[in-house]
Chain A
Amino acid sequence: DQQVKQNSPSLSVQEGRISILNCDYTNSMFDYFLWYKKYPAEGPTFLISISSIKDKNEDGRFTVFLNKSAKHLSLHIVPSQPGDSAVYFCAAGGSQGNLIFGKGTKLSVKP
């Protein structure tokens, strides 16, 4: 049973607009949630994280929102740029190091 779900395999957005990537989880015991970005032929790159005790974290153009009651988090990218085109993975875990990833969402930002 998937503990971390990204239900949209792909998303296409126009340059300059907002990209919203969504993620749902089932385990309320997760301590942290993270977003990773992955280009082909490279390892995933850590983007932004949020603690389970917070509901928002912002870093430049990237903001992650956490709704614990809905077991849902989202990544907002504003404004979207063509260089943001990549696969984005949502991940959840605890302090032990057992980080669980979703299946990923491929974002395409069109000029």
Chain B
Amino acid sequence: EAQVTQNPRYLITVTGKKLTVTCSQNMNHEYMSWYRQDPGLGLRQIYYSMNVEVTDKGDVPEGYKVSRKEKRNFPLILESPSPNQTSLYFCASSMGGGARGYTFGSGTRLTVV
């Protein structure tokens, strides 16, 4: 089944403790992206990647890191999480970037206390 898989689905962590949210897609998509969804703010892009070793900042990249060492994986790294990073995170992938639409994962709900 073609899908984008994120792990974990739920995570509660403490301020300052480094964490990684994994994302993997099995569709051989070139484009991948991370979004966060917050009440009243909609979906905001954190980082995106057009291909292996090519990443770029979205609208809200502060406090996040990404890497794209393989085509299928695009982990999101929070080196020192803070409470304002409590959010619902979505990973997405696409064959043609914005043109063909992104396929989204099921989301990771992160709480930083």
Contact = CB atoms under 8 A, between A and B. Distances in A.
Contact of A44 (B31, B90, B94): B90
Q: Give the interface size class of chain A.
A: 20 to 34
B43 A32 contact: no
Contacts of A92: 98
Interface of A: 6, 31-32, 34, 36, 41-46, 49, 51, 89, 91-104
28 contacts: A32-B98, A32-B99, A34-B101, A41-B107, A43-B4, A43-B105, A46-B103, A49-B101, A89-B43, A91-B98, A92-B98, A94-B97, A95-B98, A96-B97, A96-B98, A97-B33, A97-B94, A97-B97, A97-B98, A98-B45, A98-B56, A99-B48, A99-B97, A100-B59, A101-B42, A103-B40, A103-B41, A104-B43
